[in-house]
Amino acid sequence: MPTYQYQCTECSYEFEEFQNISDDPIQTCPECGGRVKRLISGGAGLLFKGSGFYITDYRSPKYQADAKKESSDKKFEKTEKKSEKKVDKKADKKSA
């Protein structure tokens, strides 16, 4: 059952009411007896638990394979650059 927020149009009293969806909206203010309007609220936050909620969970096998290849290519480039730096440092030491 949802919780609805109401505000009195006469005294501006705000309150919440725990009601069934099928229940009629409240018409009178519990404080002054004036008319109330139901407010639109943001509601509670959603919690997604378990797998299936990430965009990567629904990727095609081809996309997943390409992404793995791309990430392994980047790792290879990084290790290649590191080894080049080591070779350059050794060459600098020998020439000095």
pLDDT digits (tens, 9 = 90+) for 32-62: 999 999 998 766 667 666 666 666 666 778 8
Q: Is residue 50 assigned to a domain?
A: no
Give the range of the structural domain holding residue 22, as residue numbers without chain letter.
3-39
In a domain, 21, yes or no: yes
CB 35 within 8 A of CB 28: yes
Please state the domain count of the chain.
2
Tokens of 34: 């004036």
Higher pLDDT, 53 or 21: 21
Mean pLDDT of the chain: 77
Rounded to an integer, what distance in angstroms lies between the CA atom of residue 46 and that of residue 30?
Answer: 31
Q: For residue 29, tell me if it sits in a domain.
A: yes
**Residue 57 DSSP one-character state:** G
